[in-house]
Amino acid sequence: MLPEESAVDDAGVLHLGGVPVTELAEQYGTPLYVYDEAGLRRQIRRFIDGLSARWPASEVLFASKSFPAVGMYRIAAEEGLSVDIAGGGELQLALAAGVSPEKLHFHGNAKTDAELRMAIEAGVDTIIVDNTDELDRLERLLTQPQKLLLRVIPGVEAKTHASQATGGSDSKFGLPMDQAIAAIERMRAHPLLEFEGVHLHIGSQILDVAQFGEAVSKISTAGEFDVYDVGGGLGVKYTYDEVAPSVDEYLDTIVAAAREHLPAGARIMIEPGRAIVARAGVTLYRVTTVKRTGRTFVAVDGGLADQMDAALTGQRFEALLGNRALDPWTETAQLVGRQCESGDLLVDRAPLPEARVGDLAVVATTGAYGYTLANNYNGALKPAIVFVRDGEARLVARRETYEELLALHAPALER
């Protein structure tokens, strides 16, 4: 579950990308998001090379909501990924990182006029239409042809947390098949709406790859098109007891279903996000308090404000002490955060050595949805991001400051 480029030295210090976590914490502070850059790039290549070998007319898009950082957008562009964006902010970050507009697909179930104008003016390659109100907006705003995909509801009830399921019949995303067919006819009749195909996404953190095959079979009922975007959602191993499918198992399932149900000349797209970035990232925390009151509570200097996924979806993680990684486990502790919620729980039953104030807690597999969901609960500052590779660390996003936090309140402070 740790990044691919992980090792422990004889002193028991965890190294990430060849850099000791003790040095990272000393130089950049904690909480700190740390990413194994080489591991990120290798995982991207597994998706791109694996899909193209199985289905040459294909495209892999990075679901950037999982980690919308300029440094990550640049890696995506360098490795040949296209990019899935949702909202004006992600569009601006991707463009600032140098991602070509021709590599951008613009998503969202509630796009505003301003965001659609921004996307059109930037020249994004494809807009994924979610609903008929959006078609009204596009018909009003477009002055030249625009490539479109239509998001459809495949009716697949994903085996995942309820908040992560997006392909069921009651999803807020996309149109059911009967309404989708009418919308497709409408797009085909309009001279500026270049309808290319359909899009679906059944959910996130899905560990049963058969569900992706089911989704492909269901999307085929919408008709024969040039493009079928089957979304993302491949799950990863977060805990010792979880079993996650490999990239190869996932791709084999999708392509087998495509060969059975889709036109031979169609273009297939997939949108991995979590499956690219989750394992590559960890979060470093400093232990600030240890309480043994019947239960053992190990409290750290972060929590809900930088790992919201733990509360939002009940995501479970594993942890270790990065400065004492070789010490034997002697207790089971609750690794808790500093925010004012009893639900601020990073790891419920963490097997650890006897923790001490000042230890470095490393929470593994936090590369997805940590930074993107980071918030200012209790006035917390959003952590910095560091990429490590070949024994070197580079800062890709600095830590938020109190001055920046106060600047948002300047109108009230100036009164």
155 located within any domain: yes
Is 35 one of the catalytic residues?
no
Q: Is the pLDDT of residue 368 over 70?
A: yes
Residue range 155-163: average pLDDT? 60
pLDDT at 193 over 80: yes
Q: What is the CATH number of the domain that holds 354?
A: 2.40.37.10
| Residue 169: inside a domain | yes
Q: Is 72 left (phi over 0), alpha (psi -120 to 50) or beta?
A: alpha
Report percent pLDDT > 90 for the chain: 88
Classify residue 292: in a domain, yes or no. Answer: yes
Q: Looking at the structure, tell me whether residues 161 and 144 fall in a common domain.
A: yes
Query: The pTM is what?
Result: 0.95
In a domain, 415, yes or no: no
pLDDT at 164 over 60: no
Longest dimension (CA), the chain: 70
H/E element holding 187? helix 177-188
Same domain, 137 and 90: yes
Q: What pLDDT does 128 receive?
A: 98
Query: What is the chain's mean pLDDT, rounded?
Result: 95
Residue 271 marked as a ligand binder: yes
Residues 201 and 346 in one domain: no
Could you tell me the pLDDT band of residue 169, with boundaries at 50, 70 and 90? low
Task: Give residue-wise pLDDT tens across range 29-74.
Answer: 999 999 999 999 999 999 999 999 999 999 999 999 999 999 999 9
* Residue 348 forms part of a structural domain: yes
Question: Closest by alpha carbon to 76, among 88, 89, 60?
Answer: 60
Of 76-90, 143-157, 382-396, which gets the smallest average pLDDT? 143-157
3-state DSSP call for residue 13?
coil
Q: Say which DSSP state 306 is in.
A: T
Number of domains observed in the structure of the chain: 2
DSSP alpha helix (H) spans, 220-343: 247-261, 274-277, 309-312
pLDDT of residue 162: 53
Q: Are residues 264 and 291 in the same domain?
A: no
The mean per-residue pLDDT over the stretch 367-396 comes to: 98
Residue 214: pLDDT above 80?
yes
Tell whether 223 and 142 lie within a shared domain: yes
For position 311, what pLDDT does the model report? Answer: 83
Reported confidence tier of residue 166, pLDDT bands at 50, 70, 90: low
How large is the angle between the packed helices 113-122 and 88-96, nearest 10 degrees? 20
Pair 349, 238 in one domain = no
Instruction: Provide the token pair at 351.
Output: 């097997």
Q: Is 377 annotated as belonging to a binding site?
A: no
Judge if 43 and 32 occupy the same domain.
Answer: no
Which of 238, 260, 276 corresponds to the end of one domain?
A: 276
- Note whether 68 and 107 are within 8 A (CB): no
Q: Is 341 annotated as a binding residue?
A: yes
Are residue 16 and residue 58 in the same domain, yes or no?
no
User: Last residue of a domain, which of 228, 248, 276?
Assistant: 276
Domain boundary among 241, 276, 311: 276
- Domain region containing 123: 37-276
3-class secondary-structure state, position 372: coil
Q: What is the full DSSP assignment across 327-353?
A: SPP-EEEEEE-SSS-TT-EEEEEEEES
CATH number at residue 76: 3.20.20.10
Regarding whether 59 and 115 lie in a shared domain, the answer is: yes
Same domain? For 252 and 311 the reply is no
β-bridge partners, 152: 175
Cis peptide before 351 (omega within 30 of 0): no
pLDDT of 326 higher than 90 = yes
Residue 32 and residue 42 in one domain: no
pLDDT in the model for residue 160:
58
Known binder of ligand: residue 245? no
Is 1 contained in some domain?
no
Lowest model confidence (mean pLDDT) among 13-17, 92-96, 152-156: 152-156
Residue tagged active-site, from 340, 357, 406, 408: 340
Taking alpha carbons only, the member of 4, 36, 57 closest to residue 196 is 57
Is-contact 104 94, C-beta < 8 A? yes
SS3 63: strand
Kindly state whether residues 126 and 90 are assigned to the same domain.
yes
108 is in an annotated binding site: no
